[in-house]
Amino acid sequence: MDKRSQDKENKKDMEDVFLTSYNSLIPRNRIIFGAPGTGKSYTLNNDLQQLLGENNEDQYERVTFHPDYLYANFVGTYKPVMFDDSFENLTEAEKDILSVLTDKNKSAQEKYDLLYDKFKDGGLTRLPLLLGLYTDGDFTTRKAEGTAAVDNTVGRNHGKAISKYGNALRQYGKAMRQYVNLYKPESRKKDISYEYVPGPFMRVLVKALKNAMSDNPRPFVLLIEEINRANVAAVFGDIFQLLDRDSDGVSEYKIATTNDMRRYLSEQLGVQESKLESIKIPNNMFIWATMNIADQGVFPMDTAFKRRWDFTYLGIDDNDYALHGKYVMLSDNKTQKVEWNKLRKAINKFLADCKINEDKQLGPYFLSKDIIIPEQGDEINREKFISAFKNKVIMYLFEDAAKQKRSELFKGCSNDSTRYSQICKEFEQKGVRIFNRDIVSGCDIEDVGSKNDSSDN
């Protein structure tokens, strides 16, 4: 076997691991962005299903960025963890030994004889000390071949250096007992320990690399929701360098691994640490994200970061075909037959005429699909729609998108249009007529006769 074949067989040639036989024309680093409600997450999920197929839960992980999200959360770091030292965490063999040691109905000699077979292939010299921790009784010991020990009181097979202390081993066990936190079935001892805790990036990377070592490489995806809600330069850190991909989809440049990262990767991949002094992103790992540039409190992205991604823009009216013909009955006497999609577009036109950017306008699914797409028929549930419209649409327009145009936007309100509560109250009574007349005329209201309550969804 030549050196290259041997290295790959031993999972040592990481360059071969990074470049798998998996091929795809789909971008590895991808950001979908657009106005709120344009279906960014929905589109990403559909594309995910097409890429991974069915039964793919182990092939992707989803994370949502927020202002306090850090590199340690994303990649990994040492953290304090609770170490559960309880009885349930023992192996079956350890539980059997413990049950013998704690059996009050057995003498010390009976315990020794029962445990002899378990310890004679290794650890027989430690058995007297162990019994000394649990019992005050006397017992005689045997050698591994079954003959009586020279001392015949306590085994002395501890090596020449400590053979003269053989008689005292049981006494040492007794003396130490008060200082040792012994296992008991009812104990629930928990300690704090520190260990490397991987973040979502590292977890997906490990899965992708493990799979890359197999003969059947598959794609693995890290999904990042709201990527610009965190400071991406701080979150990605040196991982930023790995985002440059070559024509095969492998990171063009390596980054050096830290000691803790290298140790973790070595344990997970079964690769010598010396082969993991630097890493790349393999070509079977995808990083996809959504970005909402309209929201308050988002962080800017620098040009160097942006150029490492393929951006897909979802237009304000993309994917609205499922909304055509879906209507709701508004006003207090339920005489306004209004299509949500037409109302949304009329509001957007007004915002555009006011020089408000498209990314502040309303996407088709600004309200959730389970509200605006009925399970049966075309009529939207009135109560659910009114509640969602007040709490989401009016609130968003009032507090964000049209904050400087409230009086013009809500010109149909007969009372104070600068009070959110008053606008909501009038919406329940007047429906879309709370808005500017251009919006009212643009949404093609169909006035129908008064409907009785029995016709409601």
**What is the CATH number for 268?**
3.40.50
* Rounded CA separation 194/83 (Å): 9
**Is the Cβ–Cβ distance between 240 and 307 less than 8 Å?**
no
**Is the Cβ–Cβ distance between 48 and 59 less than 8 Å?**
no
Other residues' Cβ atoms within 10 Å of the Cβ of residue 31:
23
pLDDT band at 147 (very low <50, low <70, confident <90, very high): confident
Q: What amino acid is encoded at 85 in this protein?
A: D
pLDDT band at 429 (very low <50, low <70, confident <90, very high): very high
pLDDT band at 245 (very low <50, low <70, confident <90, very high): very high
Tell me, yes or no, whether 335 and 297 share the same domain: no
What is the DSSP-derived secondary structure letter of residue 94?
H
Tell me, yes or no, whether 75 and 214 share the same domain: yes
Tell me, yes or no, whether 95 and 54 share the same domain: no
Domain count for the chain, please give it. Answer: 3
For residue 273 the two structure tokens come to: 């640490």
322: helix, coil or strand? helix
Is 190 a member of any domain? no
Tell me, yes or no, whether 258 and 159 share the same domain: no
Tell me, yes or no, whether 158 and 280 share the same domain: no
* Rounded CA separation 378/245 (Å): 47
Over 50: is that where the pLDDT of 244 sits? Answer: yes
* Rounded CA separation 143/191 (Å): 37
Is 186 a member of any domain? no
128: nearest Cα among 108, 144, 146, 148: 108
Query: Phi/psi at 225 (nearest 5 deg)?
Result: -90, 140
Provide the residue count of the chain. Answer: 457
Range of the domain at 135: 91-179
pLDDT band at 84 (very low <50, low <70, confident <90, very high): low
Contacts of 204 (CB under 8 A, 6+ apart): 60, 61, 220, 221, 222, 285
**Is the Cβ–Cβ distance between 131 and 114 less than 8 Å?**
no
**Is the Cβ–Cβ distance between 391 and 385 less than 8 Å?**
no
User: Exposure pattern of 77-99 as b/e (b: 16+ CB <10 Å)?
Assistant: beeeeeeeeeeeeeeeeeeebbe
Tell me, yes or no, whether 262 and 395 share the same domain: no
Share of the chain above pLDDT 70, in %: 83
pLDDT of residue 8: 47
